[in-house]
Structure 1
Amino acid sequence: MDYSKSGGPKTAKNPTRHQEGKPSGKAKPPGGRLSKQELLARMKAATEAKKPV
C-alpha cells in the first residue's frame, strides 16, 4: 500500500508573493498609500474645490 497518497493535501510552504495586505508595523501603510484620515481629508478638499461659487 502506498501511504504517501493517503491523507489531506500538503500545506503551502512558500511565503506569500505580495506584502500589500500584511501589517508592517510602520506608521504608514506599505506601498506608499495614504492613511484613511489623509485620504478622507484629500477627498473633502477635492469636493470643496469642485463646488460652484
Structure 2
Amino acid sequence: MDYKAAGAPKPAKGQPRHSEHNAYGTKKTPFGQRPSKAELLARMKENAEKNKK
C-alpha cells in the first residue's frame, strides 16, 4: 500500500486561501486602480503635517 498517496491532497504553497474583497483591479471593487505615487506622497505629507500640530 502506498501510504504517501493516501489522505487529502496538500494545498498549493504560497497561494492565498481566498481573494480579498477590496483587491485592486477587480470588477467588484469601487477602488479600481492603485493611486499614483504622487497622490500617495501628497497624502503622507498632509498626514505628517497634521501629526506635527
Bucket of the pairwise TM-score, normalised by the shorter protein: 0.3 to 0.5
**Greater share of helix:** 1
Who wins on radius of gyration, i.e. which is larger? Answer: 1
TM-score (normalised: structure 1): 0.37
TM-score (normalised: structure 2): 0.37
